[in-house]
Structure 1
Amino acid sequence: MTLALTFGLLIGVVLGLTGAGGGILAVPALVLGLGWSMTQAAPVALFAVGAAAAVGAIDGLRKGLVRWRAALLMALLGSLFTPLGLYFAHRLPEALLMVLFCAVLVIVAWRMLSQVRGDHGTGIDHGWQQKNCMLDPSTGRLKWTVRCSATLAVVGACCGFLTGLLGVGGGFLLVPAFRQLSDIRLHGIIATSLMVIALVSGMAILGALHAGVRIPAEGFVFIGASIAGMVAGRAVSAKVPAKGLQCGFAGLCVAVAVYLLVHLAAG
């Protein structure tokens, strides 16, 4: 129970700080820390990340940071593609799922480091003219062009598929994609991503429970701790340097991927 509490707190804090890392680290925490299989860990990780993300999304809505129309569109597409991911998750070998998960971890780390190098410490993306989704300067709202709608739909669909396949929340995809494809401020990106994660994860959880998945007591401890960690992470997120946070998170992703592969090879 102590390990479940500790790992849950850490996952919640990371999710609150980044809007991206909770889901992708929740599964390794359960697999390596508690000795669960990927298929056992995935629904508990989704429940924890979804609940924690909901807390963050509510906070973002209260502060007016969530682009809720964009979040609903991505969540709708994500919910449609989550069952497809679940279908493959229950038919692919455990070892293959683990390798795919490690590949995603490395890709996330590479994307994080690429963004840090691209920002050159300014936090400004000078390629803003080419972004698919732009804010209207007069209203502060997204310009709903066909290009923007299609972009958000594709991102949402990919997020949903990976949520079902690997039991991740999808924030690791949403946050970098939002930064690359829109000119929304980072705090708004994180808040919107949290809302999408909460909605997509919620649908995936309902599907898993309907399929007969049961969550053990240890899992509920992990979930509760994740929510508490999310609250703490959101409280200090504005005070943490974004560049240092991204570098640290990228290093952690690579370390976890290597450890998972070593664990898989040894097993």
Structure 2
Amino acid sequence: MTVAMLYGLCVGLVLGVTGAGGGILAVPALVLGMGWQPHAAAPVALLAVGFSAGLGAVDGLRKNLVRWRAALVMASLGVALAPLGARIAQGLSQAVLMTLFAAAMFIASGRLLLRRGIGNTPANAISAAEKNCMLNPSTGRLKWTTRCAATLACIGSLSGLLTGMLDVGGGFLIVPAFKQWTDLRMHGIVATSLLVIALVSMGAAAIALRMGAQVTPTGFVFIAAAMAGMFVGRKALPKLPGLVLQTGFAVLSIAVALFLLYRTWFV
């Protein structure tokens, strides 16, 4: 129980301060840290990430940071595509799935390391022509063009597909995609990402539970601890140096991915 609480706190804390990384650490925490089988870890990881992200999203909504229309578009397509991802995963071996999971961690970490310092770049330093979704200066809301809607639809669909396949929240994809294709500021990106993660993760978890997955008492402890970690992370976020957090999370993810590959192929 104590180990589950510790790992859950870490997952929620990372999710709270990055808006992305908790989901990608939840499965390794349960599989590597606690010795669970991936099929048993999947629903617990999704519920932990879903409930924790939900808490963060509520905080973002309260502060008027969430672009809720964009989040609902992405989440609806993500939930629709999650079952397809789950069916694809059923046709793959456990070794292949864990390798894909490690690859996702490498990609997410690499993007963080390559993009260090970009968060401090002025918004007007990047040409508006490169952004598919732009804010309307007069209203502060996204301009809903065809290109913007298509971009959000693609992000949401891919997020749902990966959630179904790898049992992650999709934030490691959503956050960098938002940074690349919108001119939202980082606080808005994180808050919006958390709402999408919450909706997609809970949808995928509901599907898994309906198919017979179960959550043990230890799993509920992990979920509750992740929610507590989210609360602490959101409170501590304004006081923490973003660059240090970003680099630390990337290094941790690479180490976990390497260990996951070692356990999958050499043990």
TM bracket, shorter-chain basis: over 0.9
Residue 258 of structure 2 corresponds to which residue in structure 1? 258
Aligned equivalents of 1:187, 1:27: Cα separation in 2? 26
AA paired with 1:127? I
SS of corresponding position for 1:263: helix
Aligned partner of 1:127 in structure 2 is 126
Question: How many Å separate the matches in 2 of 1:242 and 1:219?
Answer: 31
Q: Tell me whether 1:164 sits opposite 2:154 in the alignment.
A: no
Give the equivalent residue in structure 2 for 1:32: 32
Q: 1:61 is matched with which residue?
A: 61
Deviation at 1:14, TM superposition (A): 0.4
| Cα separation, 1, equivalents of 2:144 and 2:218 | 44
Partners of 1:6 and 1:116 in 2: CA distance: 28
Instruction: Percent identity, please.
Output: 57
Partner of residue 89, structure 1? 89
Change (3 A) 1:28 1:128: farther
Q: Which residue identity lines up with residue 132 of structure 1 in the other structure?
A: N
The residue type paired with residue 169 of structure 1 is: G
1:139 pairs with 2:132: no
Question: How far 1:265 moved relative to its partner?
Answer: 2.3
TM-score in terms of structure 1 length = 0.97
* Structure 1 residue identity aligned to 2:20: A
The TM-score, its normalising length taken from structure 2, stands at 0.97
Distance 1:263 1:134 in 2: 44
Conserved 8 A contact 2:116-2:246: yes
Cα displacement (A) at 1:106 = 0.4
CA distance in 2, matches of 1:218, 1:38: 15
Question: Aligned equivalents of 1:22 and 1:99: distance in 2?
Answer: 19
| Separation in 1, partners of 2:206, 2:120 | 42
Structure 1 residue aligned with 2:235: 235
Distance 1:55 1:232 in 2: 11
Q: Report the Cα distance in structure 2 between the residues aligned to 1:206 and 1:48, rounded to whole angstroms.
A: 13
- Does the alignment pair 1:148 with 2:148? yes
TM-align CA RMSD: 1.1
Task: In structure 2, list runs of 5 or more residues that go unmatched.
Answer: none
Partners of 2:242 and 2:79 in 1: CA distance? 30
How far apart, in 1, do the equivalents of 2:137 and 2:198 lie? Answer: 29
1:135-214 matches, cutoff 5 A: 135-214=135-214
User: For the Cα contact (< 8 Å) 2:95–2:265, is it kept in 1?
Assistant: no
Q: 1:3-42 residue pairs with structure 2 within 5 A?
A: 3-42=3-42
Q: Which runs of 4+ in 1 moved over 4 A?
A: none
Check 1:189–1:128 CA distance in 2 against 1; reply closer, same or farther (3 A cut).
farther
Contact 1:48-1:222 within 8 A present in 2 as well = yes
Distance 1:150 1:212, change over 3 A: same
Q: Which amino acid aligns with 1:148?
A: C
| Contact 1:128-1:183 at 8 Å conserved across structures | no
3-state SS in 1 of match to 2:115:
helix
| Superposed displacement of residue 260, structure 1 | 0.6
Where does structure 1 lack aligned partners over 5 or more consecutive residues? none
Q: What is the deviation of 1:252?
A: 0.9
